Amino acid sequence: MPAEWEEQEAVWLSWPHRKLTWPRHFRPIPRVFAQVAAIISCFEEVRINVPKTLNKKAYALVKKAGANMDMVTFYDHPTNDAWCRDHGPIFVKQKKTGTVAITDWKFNAWGGKYPHSSLDDAIPSHIAHVLKQKRFVNQMVLEGGSIDVNGDGLLLTTEVCLLNKNRNPDLSRKEIERNLKQFLGIKKVLWLGEGIVGDDTDGHVDDLTRFFSKDGILTAVEKNVRDVNYKALKDNRERLKDLRTLKGKPFHVVELPMPSPVRCEGKRLPATYANFLIINGAVLMPSFRQPKKDAEAAEILESCFPGREIVPIDCVDLVWGRGTLHCISQQQPAS
């Protein structure tokens, strides 16, 4: 599995239509997706799964957002929800030939939290068909947001998610690691602990800690000791001190501050700057209408990704659905 910063052919999105994902606040969401698609289209191709009945509306919104429509393709792939990071294919690449293929894992709506997921579970097979790419099927439950890789044999994940009995109750830690190694070309799995409050995925790592280079890791930290996320993020930061590269060296760890709490209808939401998306020539960063903290996060990301444009995108509306930019997208590596 290539690192996210490696050359990409396209980014996949799944068009939003399930109003219960953003209850009472769905109205702005399609426009947010259109804005994200338009920005990506300035850098690389955007491929969008969209139910046939919404194709015209999606096209109109993306065009109105200023997209380069020559770089946008819509596919008649019906979905249950919009979280392409988790239900989309996880692409792998053969280093010697550059051939790209699809790994297709079981998707069960984050441990059966939502009643319908069969359409989402079929997305990797649809994409493999239209791309004419080889598909490797694994019956282990795995969501793309639960893992992060450095493209050099290392994978980050969390115990609270991958070892959760609502995912793979019959698999041991060793068996889960074996699947990741065999299907994603991983040599070593690095385990973190708990996730952040408000995240209904059971602690996806893309809300917490991300690779920015083969031996560099960005990790979210909370400095307010009274904050509900303080303990979990501190524990993960401590764990990183003990983790090592394949050569036995410590990682270069960069701390990424958390935004001030974001709430809607009194509920704490999983707002985090760690849910950024790396694309060709840019990093799309979630922002939360907090000028000082947003700017600080952008500056840190700029230092970690020299030569890439940092593009803040307002995610205050989007995060009511319990995810932001990385959660709604899935990159397809270039062959």
> pLDDT per residue over 228-244, tens digit each?
999 999 999 999 999 99
Q: For the residues 10-20, what does the mean pLDDT come to? A: 98
Helices (H), 209-290: 230-242
Q: How do beta strands 45-49 and 72-75 pair?
A: parallel
Q: What is the pLDDT of residue 286?
A: 98
Domain membership flag for residue 2: no
Q: What is the pLDDT of residue 282?
A: 98
Q: What is the pLDDT of residue 24?
A: 98
Q: How far apart are CA 321 and CA 259, in angstroms?
A: 17
Q: What is the pLDDT of residue 241?
A: 97
The first and second tokens of residue 215, run together, are 């031996």
Q: What is the pLDDT of residue 65?
A: 98
Q: What is the pLDDT of residue 186?
A: 97
Confidence of residue 140 (pLDDT cuts 50, 70, 90): very high
Please choose, from the candidates 111, 174, 118, the residue with its C-alpha nearest in 3D space to the C-alpha of residue 146: 111
Domain membership flag for residue 3: no
Domain membership flag for residue 63: yes
pLDDT tens sequence across 152-166: 999 999 999 999 999
Altogether, the residues listed in the chain come to a count of: 335
Q: For the residues 261-285, what does the mean pLDDT come to? A: 98
pLDDT tens sequence across 78-104: 999 999 999 999 999 998 999 999 999
- Provide the residue range defining the domain that includes 284: 8-333
Label residue 122 left, alpha or beta by phi (over 0 means left) and psi (-120 to 50 means alpha): alpha
Domain membership flag for residue 292: yes
Give yes or no: 304 in active site. no
Q: What is the pLDDT of residue 45?
A: 98
Q: What is the pLDDT of residue 58?
A: 98
Q: For the residues 212-222, what does the mean pLDDT come to? A: 98
Residues 6+ apart with CB under 8 A from 13: 33, 36, 37, 46, 47, 48, 49, 82, 84, 328, 329
Phi, psi of 116 (to 5 degrees): -120, 130
Q: What is the pLDDT of residue 263?
A: 97
Q: For the residues 316-330, what does the mean pLDDT come to? A: 98
Q: What is the pLDDT of residue 248?
A: 97
Q: What is the pLDDT of residue 233?
A: 98
Residues 6+ apart with CB under 8 A from 321: 21, 22, 29, 82
pLDDT tens sequence across 64-82: 999 999 999 999 999 999 9
Confidence of residue 13 (pLDDT cuts 50, 70, 90): very high
Please choose, from the candidates 54, 92, 50, the residue with its C-alpha nearest in 3D space to the C-alpha of residue 73: 50
Q: What is the pLDDT of residue 34?
A: 98
Domain count, the chain: 1
What are the angstrom distances between the C-alpha of 8 and each of 92, 135, 190, 250?
A: 12, 19, 25, 28
Q: What are the residues facing 285 on neighbouring strands?
A: 312
What are the angstrom distances between the C-alpha of 322 and each of 26, 144, 272?
A: 13, 15, 11
Q: How do beta strands 135-141 and 188-192 pair?
A: unpaired
Domain membership flag for residue 284: yes
- Asked whether the beta carbons of 37 and 325 are under 8 A apart, the reply is no
263: CATH: 3.75.10.10
pLDDT tens sequence across 101-131: 999 999 999 999 999 999 999 999 999 999 9
Q: What is the pLDDT of residue 216?
A: 98
Q: Which amino acid is at 175?
A: E
Annotated catalytic residue, options 161, 304, 315, 327? 327
Q: What are the residues facing 213 on neighbouring strands?
A: 216
Q: What is the pLDDT of residue 253?
A: 98
Dihedral of CA 162/164/167/171: which sign?
positive
